[in-house]
Structure 1
Amino acid sequence: MGVYEMEVDTIRGGKQSLSQYKGQVMLIVNTATKCGLAPQFKGLQKLHEDYAEQGLAVLGFPSSQFMNQELGDNDAIAEACELNHGVTFPLFAKIDVNGPTAHPLYQYLKNEARGAFGTKPIKWNFTKFLIDRSGKVIKRYAPTDAPEKIEADIRKLL
């Protein structure tokens, strides 16, 4: 099963297939609004604004698996992202990214792009995965890699 066969829950309660992003470059990020790295929302939003028309889809997947740094429910998460960080890129329902309850999307991403030292688990909030227009996972970025640092890699794929 590839990335386009994945079905995800939207932050507003619907279901969506990632097949709608076929032919686009995707940047998939596990987010947390109360994390010290939350200022990255602004950089992610800038990437969305600068490159969406050229085919970039920034997709945020809130998770509370790291020190419980995400708000309780999806409505509160959406509101905090919109009001505090100006987020207009797609956000999805809160998920687990590690362990036996990890969402199938993250099981797939971790298997396709292992982290530092060949490890699979997500280490922290704001781990980023860059996927090309054909659905191939190109690279995994560390939580501390600022969105601006990824911009050159994104431009190459666009």
Structure 2
Amino acid sequence: MMRRLVLLLLGLACLSPPATWAAADEPALAVVMASGSAPPRLGREQIAQIFKHRKRYWDDGSRIQAVNLPASHPLRRSFTQQIYGRNPEELEDYWRDQYFHGVLPPFVLGSEEAVIRLVASTPGAIGYISVCSVDHRVSVLFRLDGSSNCSH
């Protein structure tokens, strides 16, 4: 009886898609800043440094203002997974340690629209949104792969 249960569970595990297949269901993300800004050339590593507050200034000396969505937001989860290979909760220890060194995490805004509005109106601000939400107010600095099927 136990052996059948183990074989059944192993068989079901084989039917589950591997983690690499999940990216197709995740939305394509755009790392954005205000339109009209001189867009810096950014790669994944620079974005990781910005959102961990290890890079705080743009090359022209202006301050970087990174903004996040809430940890439970699907886009935040996707962004954190694609940039750091972790879930937002796995970065909590990092931020607790940084707090004791006087470094606060990026601002958290409740929606993509809030991110767009803040980024569009704040010099040096950077955030991420769904590729489908990009409009004239922001410029795409970097794109993270995923499904880009926009419903509008």
Tell me, yes or no, whether TM beats 0.5: no
Greater length-normalized contact order (CA 8 Å, ≥ 6 residues apart): 2
TM-score (norm: length of structure 2): 0.30
Structure 1 or 2: more helix by fraction: 2
TM-score (norm: length of structure 1): 0.29
